[in-house]
């Protein structure tokens, strides 16, 4: 119930504060670098898995999970959504991919 009744402004303020404290020493500025925040109030997480029967046949590199995980400056996205598979091993694989992208510069 707390998750559902917490105002978005509270989530936003805490997210901006935490990211600023964690990433600020590396040059991150929440006011400059955050363009949007989404809060999923579901009591569980779920990564959408594509199905060839009803999902579009996107061109190589254009599936939403591929577009969404594209590197943005020094930010690399890694989670199960980035793999379009709701499994821990996929989240770990995406974390490895993201770190490799950052190490390559």
Question: Of all residues in the chain, what percent carry a pLDDT higher than 70?
Answer: 95
Residue 57 is encoded by which pair of tokens? 């046949």
Distance CA 83, CA 71 (A): 14
Distance CA 74, CA 71 (A): 7
pLDDT tens across 17-64, in order? 999 999 999 999 999 999 888 887 665 667 889 998 999 999 999 999
Instruction: Give the chain's mean pLDDT.
Output: 90
pTM of the model: 0.60
User: 87 phi and psi, to 5 degrees?
Assistant: -135, 145
Please give the pLDDT value at position 43. Answer: 58
Residue 72: strand pairing partners = 75
pLDDT tens across 62-85, in order? 999 999 999 989 899 998 899 999
CA distances to 27, 73, 96 from 77, rounded to whole Å, are 18, 11, 11
């Amino acid at each position: 119930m707390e998750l559902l009744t917490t105002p978005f402004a509270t989530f936003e303020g805490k997210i901006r504060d935490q990211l600023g404290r964690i990433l600020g020493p590396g040059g991150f500025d929440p006011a400059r670098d955050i363009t949007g925040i989404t809060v999923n109030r579901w009591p569980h997480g779920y990564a959408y898995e594509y199905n060839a029967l009803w999902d579009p046949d996107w061109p190589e590199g254009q599936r939403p999970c591929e577009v969404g995980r594209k590197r943005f400056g020094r930010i690399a996205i890694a989670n199960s959504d980035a793999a379009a598979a709701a499994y821990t091993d996929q989240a770990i694989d995406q974390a490895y991919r993201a770190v490799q992208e950052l190490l390559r510069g």
